[in-house]
A and B are shown apart, each in its own frame.
Chain A
Amino acid sequence: MRIVCPFCGERELGEFTYLGDAKSARPAAGASEDEVFDYVYMRDNVAGPMSEYWYHGGGCRAWLKVARNTLTHEISSVEPAAGVGAKQAAR
C-alpha cells in the first residue's frame, strides 16, 4: 500500500503506523463515563470506506486522516490532522 503524505509525497506503507478510526472525537472535559467509554472502546468494524488515522513516523511525523476502503485498500483522500502545522487556533 502507498500513501500520499501531504508533506512528503507518495510513500510506502512501511513508513506509516496505523491507529484506526478517525471518526470519533475525544469527549470534552466533564463528559460522562459512558461517553468516554464509547470513545475508548466502541469502534465500528467497517467493511468499506473508512476514515482512519495514520502516523508518518518514518517521515515528517504528521498524523494523517486517511479515507481508505478497507475492502480494496483504495485510498481516496489524505489530509493532515488539525494541529499538524505551525498555524494554531487563536487562544
Chain B
Amino acid sequence: MTSSQPYRLVSGGLIDRAAPLGFRFDGKSFAGFQGDTLASALIANGVKLVGRSFKYHRPRGILTAGSEEPNALVELRSGARREPNTKATTAELYDGLEAASQNRWPSLRHDLMAVNQLFAPIFVAGFYYKTFMWPARFWEAVYEPAIRRAAGLGRAAGVADPDHYDKAWAHCDVLIAGSGPAGLAAALAAGRGGARVILCEEDFALGGRLLADGGMIDGAPAAEWITRTLAELAALPDVRIMTRTTLFGVYDGGTYGALERVNDHLLSPPEHQVRQRLWRIVAKRCVVAAGAIERPIVFAGNDTPGVMMASAMRTYVARYAVTPAKRIALFTNNEDGWRTVETALGAGLQIAAVIDARPDVSAERRALAAKAGFAVLNGSVSGVEGGKDGVRKIAVSLTGGARAEVEADGLAVSGGWNPAVGLTSYHRGRPKWQDDIAAFVPDGAPPGMVAVGAANGAFGLGDCLRQGFAAGAAAAQSAGRSGNAGTSPTADEEAFSLTPLWHVAGKGKAFVDYQHDVTASDIELAQREGFESVEHLKRYTTLGMATDQGKTSNVAGLAIMAALSGKSIPETGTTIYRPPYVPVAIGAFAGHHRDENFHATRLTPSHHWAAEQGAVFVDTGLWKRAQWYPRAGEKDWLESVTREVKAVRSGVGFCDVSTLGKIDVHGPDAGAFLDRVYINTFSNLAVGKARYGLMLREDGIVYDDGTTSRLAEDHYFLTTTTAKAGLVMQHLEFCRQVLFPEFDVQLTSVSDQWAQFSIAGPSARELLKQVVDESEDLSNEGFPFMGAREVALHGGIRARLFRISFSGEMAFEISVPARYGDALVRNLMLAGKPFGVTPYGTEALGVMRIEKGHVAGPELNGTTTAADLGLGKMMSTKKDFIGRVMAGREALVAPDRQVVVGIKPVDKTRRLRSGAHIIPKGETPGPDNDQGYVTSVCFSPVLDQWIGLGLVERGRERIGEIVHAHDPLRGEDYDVELCSPVFYDPDGGRQRG
C-alpha cells in the first residue's frame, strides 16, 4: 500500500501500517493508515493544495497539525452528514472517508473565482462598508448574494442531521486539560493524591508534543514514560481519561464545557450510539495544560502551499511518517524551530537552508549545519515563489541588506510560541506579556484554575513536568484529598532563545489571518484610517473572527499594529477571549432535545382515550389538548366544532380541563392569604362554595384568573389558567415566603394529581347521577350553582365536585385522582349514551366562552386592568392586595381605556377575524384613530353568525355603535357593531337552573 503513498516514510511514526484505509478527496481515491489524520494522509499522497481562501481564492495547503488550523478546511462526509469547515488536521482518517475542498469552482485546481485576486484592491479591510454602501436596496438584491457566492467557506448539508447527540454531566475534584507532559504529570500527582480526576485530550492519542518531539523523561524515552504513566493512571480507581474531548469553555462556579467526539472517527456511528457528547463538568480544581500554539511570521507569499509551521512539519515526519517536502528550508527566530531540522535529518530528509533571524546562532547549530551540508543564513524570508503546486524558491533578505535565494519545496516557519491562553481568559481575564518568550501568558485564571507548562509560558520539558506535577498535587490537596503524590518525573532543562520577529517587508500579499484573508497591508490600512484599538482592528479587518478565532493570527496582528502605532505590544493589548475554544456543533448543544423531543410533552388523563376517538390535538404550552373530535362525514373543523357546541347546549357534553393549574392551599391563614393575592375576598367564602377570582400583578395589570373553592375551614382549592399554572405557583410561593411570611399557610401543587372534566349541558345532572353515588344530593337545592364539595363515586372513589360553568350551561367540574381519569371518561361515554353525550374539545370550549363573554388569554394579555375586562367591581376596597395601589394610577383608570366589548359584523354572513383594528366609521384607518382591536372570534351556532370580543376605546359606552373593522394583514375592511360581550343567556338562568 505504501507504493500508493509516495510521501510516506518507510518506517517510523505512530501509525498502524497493518491497517490500511481507503479514502477519497475531491472524488479521487487515496490510501492511508490507521492513526493518520486526513491531513497526514493527504501529505502521504503528495496532495499539497487542499483549499481556496475565503476572499481571494488563493491556493492553500496545510499549515498546522492541530485544531488551530486556518487553511485546510474541508467538507467532510456527504449527503445529510456533510460537515463543512472541518479541519483536515484533526479529522481522523477512517476507511471510506470522503472529503471535498471548499470555496472553489469548478475545481480546486482551476478556480474561476481566483479572479478575485485581480480585484484585491477592493477587497481590502472594511470593503463591505465602503464599497456597497449605495444604493441601499442593492444590498439584499445584488451585493450580498454575489458576495456570498464568491466569498465563503463550506456548504452546510441542508437536510436534517441523521445522527444523535448526547449531553452529560460529570463531577470531579481535578479536571485537567491536555495530555502533554504537564497534563500527564498533573494527572499522576492528583490521582496518586486520591483525587477524582478527569483528563480531557483533544487528540485521539495521548502525549501532546511528546508524540512528535520525544525527549527523555526519568532517563527513558518519552514514549516509554507515556506508556508507563498511562498504565499507572489506568490502575488508579478515580482517574478518567477522555480522548477526542476538547475542553471548550469555562463557566461560573467551576463548570466547564467539553465536547467529546465519540464517533467522528468512524464512517457513521454504530447503532444506538451518538456522534458527539456535550459534557458539563463540575470540578473543584482545574489544571490547564493545553500547551502552546506555534505562530507564523508574516511575509510575502507565506500562504503558499508547502509553507508550514515548523512544529507541524516535524509532527508529520515523526508522528505520521510522512514528508511534507523533500527539500526543506527552515525560517525561524527561535531555538525551538531547529528541532524540525533535527527531526527531518533523522528521517533522512534534505535541509535546503536555515534562515535564522537571530544574530547569534549557536556554534553547536552551525556545526550541525556544516555536517549536514546546508547553509545557515542570518536574515528573513522576504518572499516565496510558487503557486498551487507548492513552494519552488524562497527569497531571503540577509542581515546587512544582501539578498539570497534558496531552492526548496517546503518551508518550515517558526515565529515562537503563544501559550494557549483561551481557557484561562474566558472570564474576561487579560493575559500579560512576557518578554523573554515574546508572548502573552495567563495573568491569573478563573477561581480554582491554574495554567501549567507551555500554557503557562514554560516551554522546557523539565519545567512542564515539574509545574504539572506540582499543580496536580496541590489541586488534589485543596480538593480535600490527602494521598501521597510521590515524586515528580524529571527531564533535562532546555534553553528557549527567541528574537521577536512578526513581519518581514516584501512585495506581495503577506497574510496575518489566513482563514479570513487578512493581510499585513489590511492592518496598515486600518491603522491609517484610525482603527487602532485592537477591538476596532478586529472588527474592521475581521482579523481573528473566522472559525479558528485567530489562534495563529491574533498576536501577530496586534504586534504589527503595535509597531505601526508606536506602542508596545502589551500597551496595544489583546481582544477579549470568549468560548468556545473550537467550533461546537449546534447539534451537540441540542442533544436529544430536537423534533418531538424538543421539549417535554404533557398528556392529559384522557389523552389515550381521545386519541382512540380520532381527536385532533393542539399544543398548549407543553400540553397536547383535544381540539375537536371529528366525525365521519364532517367536511371541516367548523362543522365538528359547531356540532359539539350544539350538543352541549341542547344535551350534554364533557371536556378534559385537567390542564388547569391546581393548587391546594392549607392552613389557618389560607383565607387571609388568598385575600392578599386576589382582588376579591375569599376569607368570607363559605365552606362548600366556589368563587371566581382575579389576580393582579403588583403593577396593577391582570395576572391570572380562575375558580377557587373552600373545601374546609382551612383548605382551599385554587385553579389557574393552563398557561400560567407554573408561574402562578411561583408567584404564590413568593407571596407566601417573601411578602407575607406572617401567614400560616402551605401551598401544594396538585395539577398532575387530579384529572378534571367539565360536564356541561341541560342533561349534565342526569349524566352525573350515573357516575356519582346515589347517596349524594345533586339537586339544585342540595348542590346549587357555585357549590363545591367532595363526593363519592360509584365504587367509593372520592371525587371533588364543583358546580361551575364556563360554557354558560348548567355545568359541573369533577376531579378524580389522575389515575382514574381514563376510567371516568370511558364511564361517562358509556353512561351518557342515552343522553347523547358528546365529548368536546378546546375549540367548542372557546366558542361557548365567547358566546358567554368570558375573558381568556387573548383578553388577559398583560396590558389589561380588571376594569378593562369589566371586572372592576370585584376589586375590594376593604383590604390590601397585590396590585391594589398601582391599579389606581391615573392612566390605568382613564375613561378612554380600551375595554372588553362584544363585536359582530353588520353583514351577518361575513367572517370576523381576530386582529382586525377598530376605526370610527367613515374615517381613514391610521394609527391616530385606531381605537382597539378584535381579540377573540368564533362562529356562534346560537346566533348563526361570526361574533367576537374586542378591546375598544370606551367600548362599554358605545354599545350599538357601528364602527369599521380594518384588517390590513388580510386586506379586509368591513363594518361591525359594538355590542354586549354576553351574547348568550345574559341573565345566567341556564347555568343556575
> Does B739 contact A88, Cβ atoms closer than 8 Å?
no
Mark interface residues in B904-939 (1 if CB within 8 Å of A CB, else 0): 000000000000000000000000000000000000
Q: Given A1-B252, A2-B252, A2-B253, check contact A57 B738 (CB 8 Å).
A: no
> Does A19 contact B734, Cβ atoms closer than 8 Å?
yes
Mark interface residues in B380-400 (1 if CB within 8 Å of A CB, else 0): 000000000000000000000
Residue of B nearest to A37 (CB): B886
- Complex alpha-carbon distance, A20 and B16, angstroms: 59
> Does A1 contact B251, Cβ atoms closer than 8 Å?
yes
> Does B282 contact A2, Cβ atoms closer than 8 Å?
yes
| Residue of A31, A39, A91 with most partner-chain B CB within 10 A | A91
Q: Given A36-B885, A88-B742, check contact A82 B737 (CB 8 Å).
A: yes
Q: Smallest distance from the beta carbon of B595 to chain A beta carbons, Å?
A: 21
- Complex alpha-carbon distance, A61 and B733, angstroms: 8
A84 contacts chain B at the CB level, 8 A cutoff: yes
| Residue of B734, B736, B737 with most partner-chain A CB within 10 A | B737
> Does B737 contact A62, Cβ atoms closer than 8 Å?
yes
Determine the chain A residues whose CB is within 8 A of the CB of B427 once the complex forms.
72
> Does A84 contact B737, Cβ atoms closer than 8 Å?
yes
- Complex alpha-carbon distance, A36 and B669, angstroms: 25
- Complex alpha-carbon distance, A80 and B885, angstroms: 28
Determine the chain B residues whose CB is within 8 A of the CB of A36 once the complex forms.
698, 885-886
Q: Smallest distance from the beta carbon of B698 to chain A beta carbons, Å?
A: 5
Mark interface residues in A21-45 (1 if CB within 8 Å of B CB, else 0): 0000011011101001101110000
A67 contacts chain B at the CB level, 8 A cutoff: no
Determine the chain A residues whose CB is within 8 A of the CB of B447 once the complex forms.
74
* Partner among A40, A83, A91 whose Cβ is within 8 Å of the Cβ of B886: A40
Residue of B nearest to A62 (CB): B737
A47 contacts chain B at the CB level, 8 A cutoff: no
Interface size class of A (residues with CB under 8 A): 35 or more
Q: Given A53-B738, A83-B736, A91-B744, check contact A1 B255 (CB 8 Å).
A: yes
Q: Smallest distance from the beta carbon of A33 to chain B beta carbons, Å?
A: 6
> Does A63 contact B885, Cβ atoms closer than 8 Å?
no
Mark interface residues in B269-294 (1 if CB within 8 Å of A CB, else 0): 00000000000101000000000000
How many A-B pairs fall under 8 Å by CB? Answer: 82
Mark interface residues in B736-772 (1 if CB within 8 Å of A CB, else 0): 1111111110100000000000000000000000000
> Does B252 contact A83, Cβ atoms closer than 8 Å?
no
B888 contacts chain A at the CB level, 8 A cutoff: yes
| Residue of A41, A83, A91 with most partner-chain B CB within 10 A | A83
Determine the chain A residues whose CB is within 8 A of the CB of B743 once the complex forms.
83, 88
Q: Given A19-B734, A40-B699, A57-B726, check contact A1 B253 (CB 8 Å).
A: yes
B889 contacts chain A at the CB level, 8 A cutoff: yes
> Does A55 contact B880, Cβ atoms closer than 8 Å?
no
Determine the chain B residues whose CB is within 8 A of the CB of A12 once the complex forms.
255, 280, 282
> Does A2 contact B741, Cβ atoms closer than 8 Å?
no
- Complex alpha-carbon distance, A52 and B106, angstroms: 60
* Partner among A30, A33, A63, A84 whose Cβ is within 8 Å of the Cβ of B888: A33
* Partner among B280, B742, B746 whose Cβ is within 8 Å of the Cβ of A89: B742
Mark interface residues in B711-741 (1 if CB within 8 Å of A CB, else 0): 0000000000000001001100110111111
> Does B255 contact A2, Cβ atoms closer than 8 Å?
yes
B254 contacts chain A at the CB level, 8 A cutoff: yes
Q: Smallest distance from the beta carbon of B201 to chain A beta carbons, Å?
A: 25
> Does B730 contact A33, Cβ atoms closer than 8 Å?
no
Determine the chain A residues whose CB is within 8 A of the CB of B668 once the complex forms.
91
Determine the chain A residues whose CB is within 8 A of the CB of B741 once the complex forms.
81-83, 88-89
Q: Given A33-B885, A36-B885, A55-B733, check contact A73 B252 (CB 8 Å).
A: yes
Q: Smallest distance from the beta carbon of B281 to chain A beta carbons, Å?
A: 12
A17 contacts chain B at the CB level, 8 A cutoff: yes
- Complex alpha-carbon distance, A40 and B699, angstroms: 7
- Complex alpha-carbon distance, A68 and B742, angstroms: 27
- Complex alpha-carbon distance, A26 and B447, angstroms: 36
> Does B730 contact A17, Cβ atoms closer than 8 Å?
yes
- Complex alpha-carbon distance, A53 and B734, angstroms: 9
> Does B737 contact A83, Cβ atoms closer than 8 Å?
yes
> Does A55 contact B734, Cβ atoms closer than 8 Å?
yes
Determine the chain B residues whose CB is within 8 A of the CB of A73 once the complex forms.
252-253
- Complex alpha-carbon distance, A30 and B733, angstroms: 23
Determine the chain B residues whose CB is within 8 A of the CB of A62 once the complex forms.
737
Residue of B nearest to A28 (CB): B880
> Does B730 contact A83, Cβ atoms closer than 8 Å?
no
Determine the chain A residues whose CB is within 8 A of the CB of B255 once the complex forms.
1-2, 12
Interface size class of B (residues with CB under 8 A): 20 to 34
Mark interface residues in B438-480 (1 if CB within 8 Å of A CB, else 0): 0000000001000000000000000000000000000000000
Chain B 877-908 residues near chain A, CB threshold 8 A: 879-880, 885-886, 888-889
Residue of B nearest to A36 (CB): B885
> Does B742 contact A2, Cβ atoms closer than 8 Å?
no
Determine the chain B residues whose CB is within 8 A of the CB of A29 once the complex forms.
879-880
Determine the chain A residues whose CB is within 8 A of the CB of B730 once the complex forms.
17, 55, 57, 61
Q: Smallest distance from the beta carbon of B895 to chain A beta carbons, Å?
A: 19
Determine the chain A residues whose CB is within 8 A of the CB of B282 once the complex forms.
2, 12
- Complex alpha-carbon distance, A75 and B741, angstroms: 25
Chain A 60-80 residues near chain B, CB threshold 8 A: 61-63, 72-75, 80
Q: Smallest distance from the beta carbon of B702 to chain A beta carbons, Å?
A: 15
| Residue of B252, B255, B746, B889 with most partner-chain A CB within 10 A | B252
Q: Smallest distance from the beta carbon of A59 to chain B beta carbons, Å?
A: 12
> Does A63 contact B742, Cβ atoms closer than 8 Å?
no
- Complex alpha-carbon distance, A28 and B742, angstroms: 13
Residue of A nearest to B741 (CB): A83
- Complex alpha-carbon distance, A33 and B886, angstroms: 7
Residue of B nearest to A85 (CB): B737
Residue of B nearest to A2 (CB): B253
Determine the chain B residues whose CB is within 8 A of the CB of A75 once the complex forms.
253
Q: Smallest distance from the beta carbon of A15 to chain B beta carbons, Å?
A: 12
- Complex alpha-carbon distance, A61 and B255, angstroms: 23
* Partner among A1, A31, A53, A82 whose Cβ is within 8 Å of the Cβ of B885: A31
Chain B 412-454 residues near chain A, CB threshold 8 A: 427, 447
Determine the chain A residues whose CB is within 8 A of the CB of B740 once the complex forms.
83
> Does B888 contact A82, Cβ atoms closer than 8 Å?
no
Determine the chain B residues whose CB is within 8 A of the CB of A1 once the complex forms.
251-253, 255
> Does B669 contact A83, Cβ atoms closer than 8 Å?
no
- Complex alpha-carbon distance, A81 and B699, angstroms: 22
- Complex alpha-carbon distance, A13 and B280, angstroms: 12
Q: Smallest distance from the beta carbon of B256 to chain A beta carbons, Å?
A: 12
Determine the chain A residues whose CB is within 8 A of the CB of B254 once the complex forms.
2
Determine the chain A residues whose CB is within 8 A of the CB of B880 once the complex forms.
29-30
- Complex alpha-carbon distance, A75 and B253, angstroms: 9
> Does A91 contact B669, Cβ atoms closer than 8 Å?
yes
- Complex alpha-carbon distance, A26 and B741, angstroms: 12
Determine the chain A residues whose CB is within 8 A of the CB of B736 once the complex forms.
83
- Complex alpha-carbon distance, A40 and B427, angstroms: 33
- Complex alpha-carbon distance, A73 and B250, angstroms: 13
- Complex alpha-carbon distance, A54 and B739, angstroms: 14
Determine the chain A residues whose CB is within 8 A of the CB of B729 once the complex forms.
61
Q: Smallest distance from the beta carbon of A62 to chain B beta carbons, Å?
A: 7
- Complex alpha-carbon distance, A19 and B886, angstroms: 20
- Complex alpha-carbon distance, A55 and B251, angstroms: 21
Determine the chain A residues whose CB is within 8 A of the CB of B888 once the complex forms.
33
- Complex alpha-carbon distance, A13 and B739, angstroms: 24
- Complex alpha-carbon distance, A33 and B736, angstroms: 23
- Complex alpha-carbon distance, A61 and B730, angstroms: 8
> Does A81 contact B738, Cβ atoms closer than 8 Å?
yes
Known: A55-B730, A63-B738, A73-B252. 13 other contacts (CB 8 A): A1-B253, A13-B252, A26-B698, A29-B880, A30-B880, A33-B889, A62-B737, A63-B733, A63-B737, A72-B427, A83-B742, A88-B744, A91-B742
CB<8 Å pairs between A and B, sample of 13: A12-B255, A33-B885, A40-B699, A55-B733, A57-B726, A61-B729, A73-B253, A81-B737, A81-B741, A82-B738, A83-B737, A83-B742, A91-B668
Q: 8 shortest A-B CB distances, which residue pairs?
A: A83-B741, A29-B880, A2-B253, A82-B741, A1-B252, A36-B885, A73-B252, A83-B737
